Structure 1
Amino acid sequence: MTVPAQVTIHSTAGLDRQQYRIRLSYVVENAASRDALVKFELDGEIDGQPFNDGFDLPGDLAFNFAGSATRLLRRHGLQVCRGPVLRFRKEHDRVFDDLRRQLKAEPGTPVDLQRMGSLAPAEPRCAVAESIVRGRG
């Protein structure tokens, strides 16, 4: 049995308006095959309210975990700032590098753009991204 990897982020007194402790755990299944799947679990507390949720991503799309996690955390009340995400870059990079190692992914590994379209936000951020995701570009 594979032991899930995990990373925890928490609010910093004086910097955050919200109080939160969020743990992201993940496990890679069938890492050596084209059918690799990464199962992500989120749990913790946001403003004193406990939550537990999760999502699965195919191996080739698992590197987009932060976007999927953010959408779920918003549903549980996390207020996410607009703009570049820099505060948790170290944690993001650690998960990204670990996924890349476990999935044996190299730069240039193809991604299924049709499947990626299902991960797109309801309101794309720009027309160029919309055309790429929808295959019109």
Structure 2
Amino acid sequence: MFEPGHLHRANTIASGDMPLFSVDLFYEVRQDPSEGAMLHMRLQGQVNGQAFEEVFELHRDTAFNFASVASRLAHKHGLPINNSLIMRSHAEYDLMFEDIRSKLGAHSGEPVNLDHLQQDGL
């Protein structure tokens, strides 16, 4: 389920390699005095009854790699590698991507500072 600033994913029936999970991804744009607009994200939930929380920030120009970062962190906490937390419902991903783009005031074709890729762990 997606609403601006929040994505919720859950699997209530374990099957095969898909565990039980309930995960929420919250996001907002924050202004950092030295870095400018940053996408602040909080990933929290549980996988097979084990709770977790991860907080991370991405620079404005690297924010669109949010799905990769969030999925990597979810995998770290037990979601299978072949399950993308965000891409499971591409329509919701598109809505989330556009919401983030709007909040950041970003446009296609803007340059990426390669130092930000390294700083953001991408």
TM-score, scaled relative to structure 2: 0.79
Aligned residue pair count: 115
Instruction: State the alpha-carbon separation in 2 of the partners of residues 95 and 12 from structure 1.
Output: 23
Contact 2:87–2:93 (8 Å) recurs in 1: no
Instruction: State the alpha-carbon separation in 1 of the partners of residues 117 and 87 from structure 2.
Output: 24
Matching residue of 1:110: 111
More strand as a share of residues: 2
Contact 2:54–2:73 (8 Å) recurs in 1: yes
Matching residue of 2:6: 6
Calculate the aligned-residue CA RMSD, in Å: 2.7
Deviation at 1:23, TM superposition (A): 0.4
Residues 68 and 34 of structure 1, relative CA distance in 2, 3 Å threshold: same
Matching residue of 2:66: 65
Deviation at 1:6, TM superposition (A): 0.6
AA in 2 matched with 1:6: H
Residues 82 and 29 of structure 1, relative CA distance in 2, 3 Å threshold: closer
AA in 2 matched with 1:11: N
Higher relative contact order (CA 8 A, sep 6+): 2
Deviation at 1:95, TM superposition (A): 1.5
Matching residue of 1:23: 24
More helix as a share of residues: 1
Instruction: Note the alpha carbon deviations across 1:89-114, whole angstroms, 9 max, x for none.
Output: 22322221101011111111111123
Residues 109 and 18 of structure 1, relative CA distance in 2, 3 Å threshold: same
SS in 2 for 1:54: strand
Deviation at 1:17, TM superposition (A): 2.2
Instruction: Note the alpha carbon deviations across 1:106-132, whole angstroms, 9 max, x for none.
Output: 111111123224533xxxxxxxxxxxx
Instruction: Kindly name which structure, 1 or 2, has the bigger radius of gyration based on alpha carbons.
Output: 1
Instruction: State the alpha-carbon separation in 2 of the partners of residues 43 and 82 from structure 1.
Output: 17
Instruction: State the alpha-carbon separation in 1 of the partners of residues 63 and 46 from structure 2.
Output: 24
TM-score, scaled relative to structure 1: 0.71
Instruction: State the alpha-carbon separation in 2 of the partners of residues 95 and 86 from structure 1.
Output: 11
How much identity, in percent, do the aligned residues show?
34
Q: How does 1:73-92 map to 2 (within 5 A)?
A: 73-81=74-82, 86-92=87-93
Bigger mean CA deviation after superposition, 38-47 or 7-16:
7-16
* Structure 2 runs not aligned, ≥5 long: none
Residues 112 and 56 of structure 1, relative CA distance in 2, 3 Å threshold: same
